[in-house]
A and B are shown apart, each in its own frame.
Chain A
Amino acid sequence: MGTDALVISGLNAFYGDSHVLHDVSFTVKQGQVLGLLGRNGAGKTTCISAIVGLVRAKTARLELFGQSIAGLSPEAISLNGIGLVPQGRRIFPSLTVIENLTVAARRGRAGQRSQWTLNDVYEAFPRLAERKQQLAGSLSGGEQQMLAISRALMTNPRLILFDEPSEGLAPQIVTEVAAVLRRLRESGLSIVLVEQNIRLALEIADDVVVLNTGYVAHTGGAEALRADGARIQQLLGIY
């Protein structure tokens, strides 16, 4: 139905002289989850950073719901409706939990289906409500991840990017994060999910893009890949 949530085509990114992403192209369909996979150092985070404007990149096309966001500043891209749950969580450690949420808080665009407020976030993550006056830097890893997710939701994005949300978390917390991801997908949010946890990603994603040393090595449905252990082995060398 209508436009895609995100269209990237011909994305090239550099760190100084090193060319890290080569003509990366993919599309995130509205209301779907795109799993962005690849080994360590494949360029997943760079790709996420390029989308949100934190890494300068050359792109042929970078469109959010049909509107070009190429070359915009990170704050402008955020205001256009992209939320980010960054690798390593990167909550604001010297701010309290509630401050982490309120600095990001913003109403979504008119007519947007779900609108997240402080109360919604506390309802979804009761532990954050209990710790709302605590400094974010003193939270456990799992709590910080919940806070990072909540902070992104408080910007009421149309598309949300998760960069390895399960990294470094205990299995029980990973299960919780997975439940949150499913819930967000059901709410109609469009999602990019970067994961090293292939099983988790293939379970949640609709489509999958696999990066290999900066090139797109595979694009396709998650279901097909799920059934093809040999292909997974070949692309990702694990599982």
Chain B
Amino acid sequence: MNFWVIQGLNGLAFGSLLFILASGFSLIFGLMRIVNLSHGAYFMLGAYVGISAMAAGASFWTAILIGGVAIAVLGAVIERLILRRLTGQPLAQVLVTLGIAFIIADACVWIWTGDPRPVPMPRELAGAFRIHQLAFPIYRLFVIGVAFTLAAALWFLLERTRLGAMIRAGVDDLNMARAMGIRTSVLFPVVFCLGSALAGAGGVLAGPILSVYPGLDTDMLPLALVVVILGGVGSLLGAFIGSLIIGFIYSYGQALFPDLAYMILFLPMVLVLTLRPTGLFGRQAI
């Protein structure tokens, strides 16, 4: 019994981290039609930047902010200088974002060496939450809380503001949105920077749970991809449900069938792509 509850909470916590990563990835994919293969690298780089910020004396909270802002700026530069020139060339975009991912990964090894770095937990969230026989790290509960708050905030942005409606219009039919005067030169940077910021801040937030190491990027990117394919491209609800599903599968799968971890994670993706190419909540087929 305890096993199921603890692994369930672990799954929820991991799903929460995934949501922070995948929500931006999904919006970028849905609106700009870019499969941003750098997204995992943004997550890792954000975590490293956060570590350095903390080493320089910043608090954990400031480090999250710095990680988010740094990656948002990087995203803005990449969007403006590179991706915008490749509008309408999906293959070139995929290759470029893959190349950027490799460059970032190499730069990280060069700057922060290849040794895994633990990320200290903020003192106020250390320790465990106890109920009956169960003990669960407070920090993980906090991460779950952050993800749900973020989901609510993104929901508000997308569903209750005019900017959000414009983004959804662009996801529905980008050419028509443009023909109605909705400016991609405004929407694209907003969405790309938002997604980048979430990836960067999410990396720092994930640090105390996952730690930071070379390969964190390539561990996370496929999971974000699975989440988005499962949930549906450009769908916030899809990213949310998909993240939780993959979080649970990951957590129980690792515990129960450690040898089959990848099969268990990617089988749902294969099934969804075959049976429902738009994902559970999406409109666009991949």
Q: If the complex has contacts A92-B168, A94-B283, are A103 and B179 also in contact, measured as CB distance less than 8 A?
A: no
Contact indicator B173/A74 (Cβ below 8 Å): no
A109-135 to B contact mask, C-beta < 8 Å, 1/0: 000000000000000000000000000
A79 CA / B181 CA spacing, docked (Å) = 6
**Residue numbers in B under 8 Å from A90 (CB-CB):** 173, 176
Residues in B106-161 with C-beta less than 8 Å from chain A: none
10 A-B pairs closest in CB distance: A78-B181, A74-B178, A104-B180, A92-B172, A99-B165, A92-B169, A90-B176, A84-B179, A75-B183, A75-B178
- Chain A 71-93 residues near chain B, CB threshold 8 A: 73-75, 77-79, 84, 86, 90, 92-93
Whether a CB of chain B sits under 8 angstroms from the CB of A169 is: no
B175 at the interface (CB under 8 A from A): yes
Name the B residues within 8 Å of A52 (CB-CB): 179
The answer, yes or no, to whether B27 is at the interface (CB within 8 Å) is no
With beta carbons under 8 angstroms apart, the residue of B162, B177, B178, B183 that contacts A92 is: B177
Contact in complex: B165, A103 (CB < 8 Å) = yes
Q: Is A151 an interface residue (CB 8 A)?
A: yes
Instruction: Give 18 A-B pairs besides A53-B178, A74-B175 with Cβ atoms closer than 8 angstroms.
Output: A54-B179, A74-B178, A74-B179, A75-B184, A75-B185, A84-B176, A84-B180, A92-B172, A93-B172, A94-B283, A95-B168, A95-B169, A100-B169, A102-B165, A103-B162, A103-B177, A152-B180, A155-B181
Residues in B whose Cβ lies below 8 Å from that of A74? 175, 178-179
Q: A75-B183, A75-B184 are in contact. Are A103 and B169 (CB under 8 A)?
A: yes
Which A residues touch B175, using CB under 8 A? 54, 74
B182 at the interface (CB under 8 A from A): yes
11 contacts between A and B (CB under 8 A): A54-B175, A75-B183, A75-B185, A77-B179, A84-B176, A94-B172, A102-B162, A103-B162, A103-B180, A104-B181, A104-B182
Residues of B close to A95: CB separation below 8 A? 165, 168-169, 172
* B180 with A151: CB separation less than 8 A: yes
The size of the chain B interface, using a CB distance under 8 A, is: 20
Rounded to whole angstroms, the CA-CA distance of A106 and B180 in the bound complex is 10
Contact partners of B181 in chain A: CB under 8 A: 75, 78-79, 104, 106, 155
- Specify which of A53, A73, A93, A155 is in contact with B180 (CB 8 Å cutoff): A155
Nearest-neighbor residue (CB-CB) of A48 within chain B: B179
Distance between Cα atoms of A92 and B171 in the complex (Å): 9
In the complex, whether B63 has a CB less than 8 A from a CB of chain A is no
Which of A78, A84, A93, A94 is most buried by chain B, counting CB atoms within 10 A of its CB? A94
CB proximity to B under 8 Å, residues A209-225: none
Chain B residues with CB under 8 Å of A75's CB are 178-179, 181-185
Give A99 to B173 CA distance when docked, in angstroms: 14
Interface size class of A (residues with CB under 8 A): 20 to 34
Residues of chain B within 8 A of A86, CB atoms compared: 176, 179
Give the nearest-CB partner of A104 in chain B: B180
Chain A residues within 8 Å of B221, by CB:
none
What is the minimal beta-carbon distance from B63 to any residue of chain A, in angstroms?
37
Which chain B residues border A155 with CB–CB below 8 Å? 180-181
A213 to B34, CA, bound (A): 36
Interface residue B83 (Cβ < 8 Å from any Cβ of A): no
Smallest CB gap from A105: residue in B: B162
Q: How far is the CB of A78 from chain B (nearest CB, A)?
A: 4
Which of A53, A74, A93, A100 lies at the interface centre, i.e. has the most chain B CB atoms within 10 A of its CB?
Answer: A74
List, in ascending order, chain B residues with CB within 8 A of A151's CB.
180
B239 within 8 A of A: no
User: Shortest distance in angstroms between B274's beta carbon and chain A's nearest beta carbon?
Assistant: 24
Nearest CB of B to A135, in Å? 11
B280 CB-CB contact with A under 8 Å:
no
Q: Which residue of B lies closest to A80 (CB)?
A: B181
Contact of A78 among B162, B172, B180 (CB under 8 A): B180
> When chains A and B are docked, how far (Å) is the Cα of A172 from the Cα of B188?
42
Shortest Cβ gap from B33 to chain A (Å): 15
CB distance from A164 to the nearest CB of B (A): 15
- Neighbouring A residues of B178 by C-beta, 8 Å: 53-54, 73-75, 78
Report A234 CB to chain B, min CB distance, Å. 34
B283 and A92 contact, CB distance less than 8 A: no
Is residue B166 within 8 Å, beta carbon to beta carbon, of the partner chain? yes
Neighbouring B residues of A94 by C-beta, 8 Å: 168, 171-172, 283
Mask: chain B, 207-219; 1 = CB below 8 Å from A; 0 = not: 0000000000000
Which residues of chain A have C-beta atoms less than 8 A from B171's C-beta? Answer: 94
Please give, as numbers and ranges, the residues of chain B lying within 8 Å of A99 by CB-CB distance. Answer: 165, 168-169
Q: B32 → chain A, closest Cβ, in Å?
A: 15
- Mask of B275-286 contacts with A, CB within 8 angstroms, 1/0: 000000001000
Min C-beta distance of A43 to chain B, whole Å: 18
CB distance from B179 to the nearest CB of A (A): 5
